[in-house]
Each structure stands twice: as structure tokens, then as C-alpha cells.
Amino acid sequence: MTTDSITYSDGYRYALQDTCQIQTGLSHDLRCSTTRAYLRDGILTVVDGYAWNGANVIYDRRSVILASLVHDVLVAMVRCGGLPASARPQIDAEFCRQIVAGGGWRWLARLDLLGLRLFSRGAYRRSSEPLVRAAP
């Protein structure tokens, strides 16, 4: 069963409160598994506790929150080598599709996609991983 909505809390910016499954339009050939999420047969499963910052380069509307989760997880899968970099066009198109599925206007989703492509070019590089620091 796939999920049409997610439960999240503020903190990181958002953090899932429950594990969710999201039907994507991605090719069924794409498969990946990480400690917090896995993609199999076009269904993305994200484990509760997954935290993300929402949409960083566009306005974070309600219709964008789920799309930003899906995009964040899939980009992380590319960065760790689980998905090929050649999947980027599919992943970016999925961001747009999720916005529309979440009630967003198609024209605004396309504008969001343009912003995403223009201002988040470095997101797919491994060097864009956040720096982890320790405190005493």
C-alpha cells in the first residue's frame, strides 16, 4: 500500500514520524537500498526518523514538502552511488510530478523544477554531503 501523505515534525527542518511508501514514476529498473530508505519497483520506502531540510531553493509550500522528501532521498541515493547519475532527469521530473500529485499547479511545479535545476546543480556531487561535527 502506498502513502499519499506523510507525518513529519519540525526540528532538522522536517523529520518523518512514520515509515512511508511513495509510489513514484521512476523506472522499475532503478533499485537502491540505504539504511533509511529503499527504492524497489517504483516504490520509495522511507523509514521513520528520516530528516531533511525541505525545498532549499524554492518556497516550501505544503504541496512541495512530500516532493522535497522524495527528491532529497533519491539525490542522497545518487550521491552514495546506489543510483546512477544518469537517473537525474528522472529524479528531477519526479519532483515536479510529486508537486502536482500533492495538489500543486502544474505551471508552478515547472517553475519550481526550473529553480531546482538552476540553483541546486551541486546537490548530486558527493562533496555536497553535510559536514558532520562532534562536540565534546
Domain boundaries, the chain: 8-121
pLDDT at 82: 92
Residue type, 79: R
pLDDT one digit per residue (tens) for the chain, 136 residues:
666 677 655 557 888 999 999 999 999 999 999 999 999 999 999 999 899 988 877 788 888 999 999 999 999 999 888 999 899 899 999 999 999 999 999 999 999 988 888 877 666 666 445 545 554 4
Cβ atoms 53, 11 nearer than 8 A:
no
Cβ atoms 18, 58 nearer than 8 A:
no
Helical spans, DSSP H, in 41-122: 62-79, 88-101, 106-119
pLDDT at 136: 46
Residues 13 and 43: their CA atoms lie apart, in Å, by 24
